[in-house]
Amino acid sequence: MSDNIRGKVIVITGASSGMGEATARGLAAKGAKVVLGARRADRLAQIVSDITAQGWEAIAVPTDVTQRADLQKLVDTAISTYGRIDVLFNNAGHGLPPFRIADTDIDTFDRMLQVHVRAVVLGMKYVAPVMQAQRSGSIITTASVAGYRAGGSSHAYCTAKAAVLHLTRSVAA
């Protein structure tokens, strides 16, 4: 990891476990100011406590990425605390076991799209004006090989990851 992230403000969704947590800890250790969003407030509090005990900077904002107000609050809190956002890492997500299309529960399918696609759109929408005003910023979105290749994962997950890959390319164009 490069040292050029020292002092950068990095907002991370899905920060209470897995890749989001590991990224938050690693970036904080390199001097980034991390703003952690996830649903599990207790886990966020523990991670922030661990990070700040090392003398590094972190804050937590309990966030359900399917809720517009929560994502807006995550962005607003980063701005009110640090005055800028240098990176948004859209990382929140979950998987599903494979199931047949005939057995698809539409509410489950919709939830997959809300978490993996709609939340990414909202995150991008809310940070774009901030980054445009700063004339700098980066948006990173977790994708998957499942977005390129069907099979091995549920069709809901494959569809969501394909959508987020195309969304990210479209926004970057």
Indicate the helix (H) or strand (E) that contains 58: strand 57-62
Looking only at the bridges linking them, the beta strands covering 33-38 and 9-13 are parallel
- Using an 8 Å Cβ cutoff, are 18 and 40 in contact? no
Known active-site residue 126: no
82, 126, 148, 157: which one is catalytic?
A: 157
Q: Helix, strand or coil for residue 56? A: coil
Q: How many residues does the chain have?
A: 173
Using the CB atoms, write b or e for 95-123: b if 16+ within 10 Å. Answer: ebeeeeeeeeeeeebebbbbbbbbbbebb
Tokens standing for residue 135:
């004339």
User: Which H, E and C letters describe 90-125, residue by residue?
Assistant: ECCCCCCCCCCHHHCCHHHHHHHHHHHHHHHHHHHH
Query: Which active-site residues does the annotation give?
Result: 157
